[in-house]
Amino acid sequence: MNAHPQDLADPLTLYGAALRSRLLLGTARYPSPAILGESIRASGCEIATVSLRREAGGSRAGESFWSLVRETSVRVLPNTAGCRTAKEAIATAQMAREVFDTDWIKLEVIGEEDTLQPDVFGLVEAAKALCSDGFKVFPYTTDDLVVAERLLDAGCKLLMPWAAPIGSGRGVNNAFALRALRAHFPEVPLIVDAGLGAPSHAVAVMEMGYDAVLLNTAVSRAGAPVAMARAFGLAVEAGRLAFLARPMSPRDMAEPSTPLIGRPFGVDF
């Protein structure tokens, strides 16, 4: 493969939608609505996740937030954040479809409070029901190969494995597992979701061949969210281009970068 900068323009296709950006951004816990809007624009993202709870009750705050998101012209990806059972996640997804007028859903079923690790049993159950109901499911999952198989069998067309616990900013906890997942499902869109804290973390997973990254806290809780959003946008592009360019393999020994042919000799300096 001969990679060129224009290869970055090749769209990422998710459920039939062609996207230029490979960064998905969350919309929670920003210092202000204005900073959220500026961050979305600075990142260049085309998909933003939105929680149904943000829109609860048709409150003025919810209406204002929804208006701001629409002004950015991004595609909305509702999520089932906070759901602890398959039944709760299914009900939330159905309500989100009515509120946001989309059959896209980021499916979360949380099973453990301290790590916010997905309940993979409830996740597969909910994914099967929602896919059967016509939803385009984006499942937040672990890096387990067996769970990945079950989700694909349930009807999911992509996978969103975590790098580390939500909001931890730790980066990649298990690089071996993420590489194994990429190798095992070469044709399935894979989006790293959760745990990235710095642009270098995004570069690392994109260099592994992942198709995109989704993050929230790393931008919303940064000292300068707008600048950090831009940094992540650039990092995703850099990581993608590096993957296409095929990085050199590590070596145990040094190798001169300057060829010896034509080197002057017999000259005293």
CA dist list (Å): 133 to 3, 49, 63, 113, 183? 40, 21, 28, 29, 30
Torsion of CA 124, 130, 132, 138, to 10 degrees: -70
Tell whether residue 216 is among the known ligand binding residues.
yes
Contacts of 245 (CB under 8 A, 6+ apart): 3
CA dist 84 → 51, 89, 91, 107, 148 (Å): 15, 7, 12, 11, 20
β partners of residue 106? 79, 138
**53 contacts: CB under 8 Å, gap ≥ 6:** 81, 82
Cα-trace Rg, the chain: 21
Active site residues: 106
242 annotated to bind ligand: no
Cα 49 to Cα 129: distance, rounded to the nearest angstrom: 21
The token pair at 108 is 């979360």
Residue 72 among known ligand-binding residues = no
195 annotated ligand binder: yes
Query: Cα–Cα distance between 196 and 210 in angstroms, integer?
Result: 14
Check the annotation: does 2 bind a ligand. no
- The binding site for 1-deoxy-D-xylulose 5-phosphate comprises 167, 194-195, 216-217
